[in-house]
Amino acid sequence: MEKKSSCLLSKLRTYFQRLGCWYEPYGDYLFYGKVKITTVHTTFFIEDYRFHDYLYLFGKNTEKFNGLEELKELSDRLINTSGDHRTSTFVLLLFGKKKLDVQSLYLEKSILFGFKGKKRLGVCLLSDEIECPGELDDVKSFLLNLL
């Protein structure tokens, strides 16, 4: 699994450096990456609307995990709800052998009654496989596609 983690980390670093930003290390975290995904809808070559989704990814060893509260505080500091913001997803990717109930480590919150979109917070565990809450299946697919 160590080799798989190393391979994933290398591919994450390349992806985020190319399309967003990547910091290694970042405070108490092994890394921090951010990427902006823009969706544009057009009709007959005229843009109808555009909205932005953001993915924030942090890495940490399972032994140093203190709960979802630290991710909540971090998300409040880093979130960018500029115009056309739809969703910001904050994911803590944990490396290690310690078993966690990742299904209970997910939170979704609307921002300003939904007018500013929403934010999702969750934990993914990378041990023998990638374990994520069901609500983060899109992030799990993204990580699996990088492997």
Spatial CA neighbour of 72 closest among 105, 32, 100, 102: 105
Quote the pLDDT of residue 85.
79
- Predicted TM-score (pTM) of the model is 0.87
User: Distance between CA 75 and CA 106 in Å, rounded?
Assistant: 13
Task: Give tens-digit pLDDT for 89-124.
Answer: 999 999 887 778 888 899 898 887 767 789 999 999
- Residue partners of 80: CB distance under 8 A and separation at least 6: 54, 88
**Buried residues in 99-131 as b, exposed as e (16+ CB within 10 A):** eeebeebbbeeeeeeeebbbbbbbbbbbbeebb
Quote the pLDDT of residue 15.
92
Quote the pLDDT of residue 7.
82
Quote the pLDDT of residue 23.
95
The residues of the chain scoring below 70 in pLDDT are: 1-4, 114
Q: How many CB atoms lie within 10 A of CB 144?
A: 11
User: Distance between CA 86 and CA 118 in Å, rounded?
Assistant: 6
Quote the pLDDT of residue 1.
47
- 59 Rama class: left (phi>0) / alpha (psi -120 to 50) / beta: beta
